[in-house]
Every structure is written in structure tokens, then in C-alpha cells.
Amino acid sequence: MSPTGSELIGIVVGLAAEARLAAGLGCVVEIGGGTPAGAEAAVARLIARGVTGVVSFGLAGGLDPTLRPGMLVVPEAVVVADAVPEGGVPKNGVPEGGVPEGTVPEGLAPADAARPPSPVSWPGLARPSTTHEAASREVMDGRPPPAMTHRLEPSPAMTHRSAPSPAMTQRAVPSPARPVALEASATLSRALGGATPHLLLAHTAVVATAAAKRDLHDRTGAHAVDLESGAVARAAAAAGIPFAVLRAVCDPAERDLPPAALAALDQRGAIGLLRVIGSVLAHPTQLPGLLALARDAAAARRALLARVRQIDQLSIST
């Protein structure tokens, strides 16, 4: 199950239990503790160890009602918030203090960099298109056009703004951030069992209610959500290495998460039993929901373990 040759694949997980499952892949594993910042730090540690590719591994929340607990998602792309304002990238292609947005970072694995942009589109988000100026610049430099990131032109529902009042017309109003779909490595996704026709939404906080899940699904068209994959995708893009995602659905779209589930995790990615017990004692009516979540999490872990056992080796070269 180990990577071949000089390849070194890193795995980022949120939970200590997920790390134990991922260990079966024979790769370097880092725990992010269930936060985007922790995941970003985990990728930094992996890059310092010389990884040539990175995988976001673990559980995800369902946004699409058809995704049931234990179903596996190897998304084609991860949607993250974009820090580049409307109007595109600056003329030099490099936003101030950051890497080029909407372009393939130099050093990307050739097998992925040579692949043309996929004409994917998702409900709730307009058809993605690469940044034409960046693409032209890449071609003129003798490099292939961007293949890893797609700029998503915002749908009307996501970009509506009230008309400015007369008092505001002389003032510069900053443009809102736009979502970007960071496309996963096809070769690494294939090594994980093959990409599934799903879009994963990167979020900054646990989506705890069925109403919030339904709203995110309706507005973005995303099928699942997690806290680590967006940070992993961005950090990988900045480092010029490919990424992929393997996630198992835990809580389905129609289920609210009980309070104990939100209080359980510590910064090391371990579940604090005392906090769970304290939450249940304070709110005993959540016990049925907590037991249901435990069943769903067990199904998700079984699915991940089965897939890990099926994976021969992780590679970005074939």
C-alpha cells in the first residue's frame, strides 16, 4: 500500500480515529484536529517532510439527501472561498501576498498539469471557466493552460447586492469574495478508488442542523461538506503539489447534530469522553440522536477501512 519510487504521499485527517484508519495506506499521516487552521498546519508539516502529494481523509457531513451514512465520496473538486475580488487576478497574475489564483502552480505533477480544464458545472453555481488572461500567459510562456483551478462565475443568488445609496456612490466598495472550485488530481483520485461525481464544500464550522445543510446544498449544489479539505486543497495548490480527497459520509443531510457531538473534539483530534458525558447529563434528550450519530459514524469508519484495504498503492505518476 506504500507509494512507489521517490513519491511520498501525505494524509491529513481531523480525528485521531481517522488517523488510525489512514495508517493502513502506508503514508505519512498528520492530524489537523478538526479545524481548517489545523489542517493547514498539518499540510505544512507534511510539506516540510517532503511529500509530493496530499490526501484529505476522513468523515464528511452529507448535504445531498441521497448520500447515506457510509457512502464514500472522492470529489472531483473542492469549493473554497476565493480571496481574489471580482475583476480577476492582477496583470502579473499574482495577488498581493499570495500565489496566482486561477492558474496551475509551477511544479504541479506533469500528469495533472497537462490535462485540459474539465468542463464541469454544478447546480447553484455557474459553469466554471479558467481565467483567460492567465491561460494566455501560460501558453505564451510555453506552459500548458491551467488545469487545477477553475474560476466559478457567481450565480445571481450568490452575488446579489442592493443598489448603493447616493451617499455611497463616491466611495469604493470592496467586491465580495467568489467561490473557486479547486480540481482534485485525477491520478491520485483514481488511486483512491476513482473519482465520484460529487462536489465537496469547504466550511469553517460544523454544519449542525438539517436546515443549514439544506440551505448550503440549495445555494451551492455541493453534495458533502467538511472542515479540512478546503485548507488541504489551498495549501497543496500553493505548494504546487496535487491533492485528492477520500471521505465517508457520517451525518446525513436530514439529521441535526446533538450538542455533545459539537463539544466532543479536542485540538488533538481526540474525543473527550468527559465532555460528552457532561453534555448528555445537561441535555439528556439528545441521547437518541447521539446514538444514531454513533451508528452512522461506525458505518462511515467501516466504509473507509474497507476502501483502505482495497487500495494497492497511492501514486501520482500513473
Question: The domain that contains 304 carries what CATH number?
Answer: 3.40.50.1580
pLDDT the model gives residue 185 = 96
Alpha helix ranges (H) inside 25-128: 36-48, 110-113
264-298 pLDDT, tens digit each: 555 555 566 667 777 777 778 888 888 898 899 99
85-132 pLDDT, tens digit each: 333 322 223 333 333 333 333 333 334 433 333 334 444 444 333 333
Alpha helix ranges (H) inside the chain: 16-22, 36-48, 110-113, 132-140, 156-159, 186-191, 210-220, 229-239, 259-263, 273-282, 287-310
The arithmetic mean of pLDDT across residues 187-193, rounded, is: 96
pLDDT the model gives residue 201 = 95
pLDDT the model gives residue 75 = 98
The arithmetic mean of pLDDT across residues 30-46, rounded, is: 94
Answer yes or no: is 1 within a domain. Answer: no
- CA nearest 77: which of 205, 172, 202, 170? 202
Answer yes or no: is 294 within a domain. Answer: yes
Whether the pLDDT of residue 56 is over 60: the answer is yes
pLDDT the model gives residue 271 = 64
Answer yes or no: is 186 within a domain. Answer: yes
- CA nearest 80: which of 128, 41, 32? 128
Between 42-46, 110-114, 159-163, 181-185, the lowest mean confidence (pLDDT) is in 110-114
Work out the pLDDT band at 1, boundaries 50, 70, 90.
low
- Choose between 79 and 130: higher pLDDT: 79
Work out the pLDDT band at 76, boundaries 50, 70, 90.
very high
Answer yes or no: is 4 within a domain. Answer: no
Whether the pLDDT of residue 252 is over 50: the answer is yes
Instruction: Answer for the pair 220, 207: CB distance below 8 angstroms, yes or no.
Output: no
| Residue 219 belongs to domain spanning | 9-310
pLDDT the model gives residue 273 = 67
pLDDT the model gives residue 118 = 37
Instruction: Answer for the pair 62, 249: CB distance below 8 angstroms, yes or no.
Output: yes
Answer yes or no: is 316 within a domain. Answer: no
Pairwise CA distance, residues 271 & 52, whole Å: 31
Answer yes or no: is 302 within a domain. Answer: yes
Whether the pLDDT of residue 160 is over 70: the answer is no
204-250 pLDDT, tens digit each: 888 999 999 999 999 889 999 999 999 999 999 999 999 999 999 99
Whether the pLDDT of residue 46 is over 60: the answer is yes
Answer yes or no: is 37 within a domain. Answer: yes
Domain count, the chain: 1
Q: How far is CA 269 from CA 20, 152, 223, 290, in A?
A: 12, 33, 24, 18
User: Which amino acid is present at 204?
Assistant: T
Answer yes or no: is 318 within a domain. Answer: no
pLDDT the model gives residue 137 = 33
